[in-house]
A and B are shown apart, each in its own frame.
Chain A
């Protein structure tokens, strides 16, 4: 097919656009429907997270971490408290560790549900989005039972948790898992094997392994490109070592490895793995244990620095903390997985059609709260 070049048109997708998942502006150069260049413009949601952290005490940072990745607040809390605990050399008891893992995995399912639903919305499927939000609601109900909040939890504290599990939580979670496991197959039938959906996503926006690695893309996006890299396995934190689960990688089931379809399907498989972890964690949850046992009276980490990374639903979430011995962090840097995922968009989406660019953006599952911080 010969290529016909017309006049180029610069198009601003965003900041107010239904497919940008927040306030992101993509400046695209288009020739008809073909997009030749994509420049993301950030900062519409910048809240000076890192500067704030230099002015508040260690425990006051936790609510700010909630607001970074507001779709996965639990895992953001988790990463931060793990880092501070490592800096202060605190060991928390087994019950706390189990509850943290349960919360993190529930959050992973909730986050993936919203990410997948929004991706479906980007390619025009409205119904799966609402089905997924319906099931996400049930997870939010579980969180509400536990700590009263549905979106921003401030649940994990340095050395412990804000609340113990309420009566009936374990049964409710089992009920949810029993309800949710068959639902995953329903989503798979509704969307993953849908002919139109496959046409729209297979072979689109392929992210080769080298590109993913060199840009520092992590999480499901990296795994979809065929790299078996999951911090829960490769650099285990908390008690993830004691659980049996697989790390699903993209295999190019409908197209080639690392396409939009793989990025979708890897997340579906990850939800199944999270269910596996949840069942094991609920079965081995210790009955005894004070969740406030290891909370220090004053959080004054010794002088020094630490970089600790955890696996958030979006990838390697790293916290770099420099302590000068006071109760306020001297410097706190957050490595955001969504930021690196967005940085790769020009590399993988240039040359595709306008509709594909938005599908690719949806498949990366970015959260602007975390990118802009």
Chain B
């Protein structure tokens, strides 16, 4: 949709090249570059938010500075920039006994998995890179790519801690995709569509039309989805793959510099994606909470971003509050609690929709 739009625009401005295949390539590259820039800026913002929110929770001030000197800027605003520069300029170390090809490939794989999910996230009625008719399914699917990257990273490092981290993450992410998927099925049952825009269109008309308040089973599905999303993004209390007090740094133990930054970046990008899916599926997406109020395209971006920001804030809040689960408890929660509840929930929603649905 957006690609077609840009392609038409390029055809108009460059009539000499009209219909040329290169223009189509450009039309695809431009939104990708915009998204890439967006992820980079978003990562800086959320890293700063993480630093500051954790500081307030832990009764400290966090990064602070005065003006724009060599300090971290006013209120430490430049701290994430300094962090990024530090990671960029660090020596790139590949352990001698590591499998070079896989070792280099893993950070790119994990970032691709996070990045391609962004194309299907709607920020407004027409602000979406690719309006796929299987949008929500596509995001769940490419999200699974992360598991392969984590196993590659853990295996190729040739380090026992990395191996532990990779094995844990494989078990964890594969398991938690099931409750996450099951809770999103309830949304699909209600809306009857896998298309992100149609799911949002169903929730038109204010806060009480959001799927979250559609019927009494949905809040349960939302909680299951959100906790599973925490597990899928390796956030505390499910940060076992990189639990720093047990496995040193888990699968990233041997990574440094920019490769490490890619793992870091994709963790935050994944947080954004799962929050965006939650916002789309349960919280009305880019719709304004009050029907007909502030619902121009610009405001729709604002509503989507603020819903995502709220969910990310909760993730950060949880991270700095609770301890970490043990690996077997993690599996118990997934298979013995979430899965049965999620399945019962599907029946509940299905019966509710058949009997009382529109």
State the A residues within 8 Å of B (CB): 9, 11, 17-19, 33, 120-127, 130-131, 134, 190-191, 194, 196-197, 199-200, 353-356, 358
Contacts and interface: CB of A to CB of B under 8 A. Distances in A.
B244 A356 contact: no
Contacts of B60: 130, 134
B191 interface: no
Contact of A124 (B245, B327, B329): B245
B328 A124 contact: no
A364 to B, nearest CB: 15
A358 B245 contact: yes
Contact of B323 (A131, A194, A354): A194
A17 B246 CA distance: 8
A122 B57 CA distance: 19
Interface residues of B, number: 26
Contact of B59 (A11, A134, A353, A355): A134
B248 interface: yes
A241 to B, nearest CB: 39
Contact of B325 (A120, A127, A199, A356): A199
Which one of B57, B58, B248 has the greatest number of beta carbons of chain A within 10 Å? B58
5 contacts: A127-B58, A134-B60, A191-B323, A194-B322, A199-B329
A353 B320 contact: no
A354 B245 CA distance: 11
A200 B237 CA distance: 12
A124 B236 contact: yes
A124 B330 CA distance: 14
Contacts of B321: 127, 190
Contacts of A190: 321
B267 interface: no
B168 to A, nearest CB: 8
A303 B171 CA distance: 67
A274 to B, nearest CB: 23
Which one of A124, A134, A190, A200 has the greatest number of beta carbons of chain B within 10 Å? A124
Interface in B163-183: 164
B324 A353 contact: no
Nearest to B55: A130
B327 A353 contact: yes
Contact of B322 (A19, A33, A130, A196): A196
Nearest to A11: B160
Given A124-B236, A127-B58, A18 B323 contact: no
B100 interface: no
Given A33-B164, A124-B324, A356-B326, 5 more contacts: A125-B322, A131-B59, A200-B324, A353-B327, A355-B327
B50 interface: no
B314 to A, nearest CB: 15
Contact of A355 (B57, B58, B236, B243): B243
Question: Nearest 10 A-B pairs (CB), nearest first?
Answer: A124-B324, A125-B323, A130-B58, A124-B323, A123-B323, A19-B245, A355-B326, A196-B323, A197-B323, A122-B245
A196 B58 CA distance: 19
A105 B248 CA distance: 35
B323 A120 contact: yes
Contact of A200 (B54, B239, B244, B323): B323
A121 B236 CA distance: 13
B246 A127 contact: no
Given A18-B245, A124-B239, A199 B58 contact: no
A350 to B, nearest CB: 17
Given A121-B245, A358-B246, A126 B160 contact: no
Contact of A354 (B54, B244, B246, B320): B246
A122 B321 CA distance: 14
A196 B322 CA distance: 7
Which one of A11, A126, A134 has the greatest number of beta carbons of chain B within 10 Å? A126
A200 B325 contact: yes
A339 B119 CA distance: 58
B55 to A, nearest CB: 9
B323 A355 contact: no
Given A199-B329, A356-B326, A124 B59 contact: no
A126 B320 contact: yes
B196 to A, nearest CB: 34
Contacts of A197: 323
Interface in B129-183: 160, 164
Interface string B292-335: 00000000000000000000000000001111111111000000
